[in-house]
Structure 1
Amino acid sequence: MPSASSAVSDSGRPAPSSLWRDRDFRRLWVGQTASQLGEHTSLLVLPLFAVLTLDASAGQLGVLRAVGQAPILLLSLFAGAWVDSWRTRTVMVLTDAGRTLALGAAALGGLLDLLGLPALLVVAFTVGALSVFFDVAYQASLVRLVRRDQLVRGNSALEGSRSAAQIGGPALGGALVSLLSAPIAAASGALFFALSFLSIRRIRHRESIPERSEHPPRTGRRIHEGLRFVVGDTSLRTVCLASAAFQFCFAALMTVYLLFLPRELHLSGTEVGLALAATGPGALLGSVLAARLPDRFGYGVVLVSAAALGDGAFLCVPALHGSAAVTVPVLLAVGFVFGTGGQLVNVTVMAVRQTATPDRMQGRVAATITFVGMGMTPLGSLLGGFLAQEWGLRTSLLVTAAGMLLSPVVMALSPLARLGRSLPACAEGGRDRTPPFA
């Protein structure tokens, strides 16, 4: 009988006995960690630059966030079809290089006093567009790199690195904006993307590219196949609806939140960064729990309860008043709970999605779910800016926080809530496959 180290993975490569003994997996992990650090740094730096330096209004901040998120709506489906036809390593390397150049140009423009709101909009759109391709590619790359029985552990490790980025990125970005300048903070993001480029470029595994032929299907047909597969699968269809409800309300909440912290609670850039970074330690805990809890309680129970706990944590924020000595610890606790619940949902949903999808469609299915879910974020950001102007910050924060609870409600009312301790095998047809129930 062959040992684990001599086994062969689904992609045809030797399977190491441990993920961490695989040099290519370690390179992917380092690259994805650095990429997430760059992304989370820039996600805070650009809005803080607009609010603290350019004195942006609520409407302008909503537009800035919507522009950065618009590529999700515009490009996700195309990115999925493209990633399924290319090596994921190539896609990740090219997008890292592009984001390095974009943030590097922003840093230079800021140092020369040329970084106004129009330039911020261009940078936000460029980084957002390239991030769409990177995120789809890294999710598809794991399936091509490891065995299917290693997906939960692999996702847990990669999502754990994203948690580390959630800790370091906002805290670093907020500190650099407060202590030095926005251009220096933008430059730190560029350096992280450059590190990701160097690490992922060293991956040596030669991927097999699904569905490459002399006359490949047109992009529109490939996109349609991905949409049809997701719509025809009960679990994936529910994930799309729950994700859309959450992302729409969360984008609105974050637009209000980024105004509420400095203007209503009078927090500094560093304190804002710490409040946002608090989701990171929680997400690290969520990554660890995600590798254990579904096997004990069932995937459905974990999904619904984690989403309800994490999303509900923000309901106490609108009631906060007083000095930073009082409000910051509460915000840290809220961020920690939200990070724990959110990461449990992220890892569990990703395992459900990857297991239910054939290898040849991993990129398109990931992109379709991203398109439906994250594609709502530009509209949510615009709504958040509108509500903040019309209703005030506290009322808007309460309404958007309550709206996030739509996501666990959608999952609780669906067959997804009854997923058991094991996940269903992939069904090529994707036609209303009934999951195994506990």
Structure 2
Amino acid sequence: MWRDADFRRLWTGQTVSQLGEHACLVVLPLIAVLTLHVDAGRLGVLRAVGQAPVLLLSLFVGAWVDRWRTRTVMVVADAGRAVALGAVALAGLLGGPGLATLLMVAFAVGALSVFFDVAYQTSLVRLVRRDQLLRGNSALEGSRSAAQIGGPALGGALVSLLSAPVAAASGALFFVLSFLSIRRIRRGEPVPGRAGRPPRMRRRIMAGVRFVVRDRSLRAVGLASAAFQFSFAATMTVYLLFLPRELHLSGTAVGLALAATGPGALLGSLLAARLPRRCGHGVVLVSAAALGDGVMLCVPGLHGPAAVTVPALVAVNFLFGACGQLVNVTTMSVRQAVTPGGLQGRVAATITCAGMGTAPLGSLLGGLLAERWGLRTGLLVTAAGMLLSPALMALSPLARLGRTLPAPRDAHARGDSA
């Protein structure tokens, strides 16, 4: 597959784009802090505006992407993000961007990132053979993990070492490079559902939702994702308070502990290319989810000096990252395998929306439990809640999946192909 020039172009473009996207998550807030001196409340608003498109636009984007060539969607998204960051750089040269400018750019970058992310997941199904999905997802998710590790650090370095305009312009460069790579994809791309007058947007969105709800495997993926994201958000809220206040760790030590998730995720991506075909997709899904989520139960029991707790946290986060990425790649491959080509974007968006939509509620619950029950007890309860996700998978058809991916479901027979 790596000999395929078009796949290499997709991988290169997606890697650079993800690096730019994760760098932007740091660049824009740091510009607001360092040049505008915003307070915590306004900084929170800026971050929320950048994250809002995931909830507001995912279902719409999924329906829209299913009727367009993913190459076109990705290059337009890259061009738009480059222009948006270029506007920040220009505003900096003319006297500095205001908060209103940063808010508009954060929303624009976030919205276009939703388009790009849904499109690249859909493009893989149209670009490679069905038996190459695991290897393709492993490569793409591995690069995304690397971007999650390096992107924030790169964004911080750009703002710290360069001026705000140059940092914004440097961020725009990543999207330009992604644009240049992806636009070189030459393979013809079949686009389902373009014949005739398109159905209304609401009908197309609901077709994707119904397909997920009616398919037992996809419904289990959606429920497990929602349970995980809810509990994970609650856990992280308490976790980020627990490390400095209960374990008395410095900011550097906290960063080191959290950074171990990234290398673990890279290992998980490599394992995902082989383990499901050797051990069975169901066995890998349930066991990896149970091990990765269950290891977080060790954190509330940690005591002692940083010389003891930091290595333990690094080990926990490394294992959590490896198992979590193994689950992510495997579930994505299963989802792509069972979903007809004409519904790929809508199904991906529906599951993303179902999972991420529970995260804000989980964060609120985590804060409430930390206040009422204390950090150690709150972390124990929220970490235990993460085990609901593997439990849901163990009770579903996902647990019975074998070494080969399941066949695509017939959307037309069920009336879900609009």
Which TM-score tier does this pair reach, normalised by the shorter chain?
A: 0.7 to 0.9
Find the aligned partners of 2:320 and 2:7 in 1 and give their Cα distance.
28
Matched residue, 1:213: 195
Matched residue, 2:16: 34
Q: Does 1:136 align with 2:88?
A: no
- Which one is further off, 205-214 or 39-48? 39-48
- CA displacement at 1:335 relative to structure 2: 2.5
Q: Alpha-carbon deviations, 1:314-347, whole Å to 9, x = none?
A: 3344555677655543443233112101111011
In structure 2, what residue type is equivalent to 1:70?
A: A
Q: Does 1:71 align with 2:44?
A: no
Matched residue, 2:140: 158
**Is this contact kept in 2: 1:298–1:422, CA < 8 A?**
yes
- CA displacement at 1:151 relative to structure 2: 1.0
Matched residue, 1:402: 384
Q: Does 1:232 align with 2:214?
A: yes
Match of 1:294 among 267, 271, 276: 276
Q: Does 1:198 align with 2:180?
A: yes
3-state SS of the aligned residue for 1:332?
helix
Residues 131 and 391 from structure 1, CA distance in 2 versus in 1: closer, same or farther, beyond 3 angstroms?
Answer: farther
Find the aligned partners of 1:39 and 1:70 in 2 and give their Cα distance.
15
3-state SS of the aligned residue for 1:132?
helix
Matched residue, 1:424: 406
Alignment of structure 1 residues 35-434 onto 2, 5 Å = 35-45=17-27, 57=40, 65-106=47-88, 114=97, 116=99, 121-176=103-158, 188-257=170-239, 265=248, 267-268=250-251, 273-318=255-300, 327-384=309-366, 396-429=378-411
Find the aligned partners of 1:100 and 1:179 in 2 and give their Cα distance.
21
In structure 1, what residue type is equivalent to 2:9?
A: R
Residues 148 and 95 from structure 1, CA distance in 2 versus in 1: closer, same or farther, beyond 3 angstroms?
Answer: same
Structure 2 residues without counterparts, runs of 5 or longer: none
- CA displacement at 1:280 relative to structure 2: 2.1
Residues 86 and 417 from structure 1, CA distance in 2 versus in 1: closer, same or farther, beyond 3 angstroms?
Answer: same
User: Aligned residue pairs: how many?
Assistant: 411
- CA displacement at 1:251 relative to structure 2: 3.0
3-state SS of the aligned residue for 1:20?
coil
- CA displacement at 1:262 relative to structure 2: 6.5
- Which one is further off, 352-361 or 235-244? 352-361
**Is this contact kept in 2: 1:170–1:276, CA < 8 A?**
no
Residues 102 and 173 from structure 1, CA distance in 2 versus in 1: closer, same or farther, beyond 3 angstroms?
Answer: same
In structure 1, what residue type is equivalent to 2:389?
A: S
In structure 2, what residue type is equivalent to 1:374?
A: M
Give the fraction of aligned pairs with identical amino acids, expressed as a percent.
Answer: 76
CA RMSD of aligned residues (A): 3.4
**Is this contact kept in 2: 1:257–1:397, CA < 8 A?**
yes
- CA displacement at 1:42 relative to structure 2: 3.0
- Which one is further off, 130-139 or 166-175? 166-175
Residues 409 and 179 from structure 1, CA distance in 2 versus in 1: closer, same or farther, beyond 3 angstroms?
Answer: farther
In structure 2, what residue type is equivalent to 1:205?
A: R
**Is this contact kept in 2: 1:233–1:430, CA < 8 A?**
no
3-state SS of the aligned residue for 1:21?
coil
- CA displacement at 1:179 relative to structure 2: 6.1
TM-score by structure 1 length? 0.81
Residues 201 and 271 from structure 1, CA distance in 2 versus in 1: closer, same or farther, beyond 3 angstroms?
Answer: farther
Find the aligned partners of 1:393 and 1:404 in 2 and give their Cα distance.
17
Residues 317 and 227 from structure 1, CA distance in 2 versus in 1: closer, same or farther, beyond 3 angstroms?
Answer: same
In structure 2, what residue type is equivalent to 1:209?
A: V
In structure 2, what residue type is equivalent to 1:242?
A: A
**Is this contact kept in 1: 2:340–2:411, CA < 8 A?**
no
